């Protein structure tokens, strides 16, 4: 599983054992108890990790650095052509709204979205 590290905290358990708390980009917390892994996780970098769940805790037991070219990038839902069509419609709606503003007619962002959806219906049908 890939995570991008947001926060690294050094902690000590009630029993006096050192550990690290790691927060990822999704605000999920993990623990690192293996001192050999201390210092391997740096803020802002992406890693492939393995962890074991113990109760409510996610304990990281393996870490591999991920090169920037291996970082998973989220893909938009649906097909690419539909995404492009929606972007074109939104751009046109924003331009339309700009002309209304220049003419002294107010328009809200919600109205711009409605116009974009109307343009989308026309393009898609």
Which domains, and CATH codes, for the chain?
Answer: 2-70 (2.40.50.140), 80-124 (no CATH)
The tokens for 83 are 């995404």
Query: What does residue 5 show for φ and ψ, rounded to 5 degrees?
Result: -75, 130
Dist. CA 32–CA 38, nearest whole Å = 7
Residue with tokens 């870490």: 63
pLDDT, residue 78, reads 63
Which DSSP state fits 75?
A: P
Q: What is the mean pLDDT of residues 66-95?
A: 78
- In the structure, what pLDDT confidence band is assigned to residue 4 with cuts at 50, 70 and 90? very high
List all residues 6 or more positions away from 24 whose beta carbon is below 8 Å from its beta carbon. Answer: 3, 4, 5, 6, 30
pLDDT, residue 89, reads 93
The tokens for 68 are 């920037």
Q: What is the mean pLDDT of residues 2-27?
A: 94
Contact call for residues 10 and 20 (beta carbons, < 8 A) = yes
- The pTM assigned to this predicted structure is 0.55
Query: What does residue 104 show for φ and ψ, rounded to 5 degrees?
Result: 85, 15
């Amino acid at each position: 599983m890939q995570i991008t590290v947001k926060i690294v905290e050094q902690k000590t358990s009630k029993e006096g054992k050192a550990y690290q708390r790691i927060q990822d980009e999704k605000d999920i917390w993990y623990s690192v108890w293996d001192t050999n892994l201390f210092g391997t996780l740096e803020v802002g970098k992406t890693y492939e990790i393995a962890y074991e769940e113990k109760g409510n805790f996610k304990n990281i037991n393996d870490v591999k650095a991920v090169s920037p070219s291996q970082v998973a990038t989220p893909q938009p839902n649906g097909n690419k052509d539909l995404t492009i069509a929606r972007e074109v419609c939104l751009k046109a709606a924003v331009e339309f709204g700009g002309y209304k503003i220049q003419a002294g007619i107010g328009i809200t962002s919600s109205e711009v979205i409605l116009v974009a959806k109307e343009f989308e219906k026309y393009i898609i049908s």
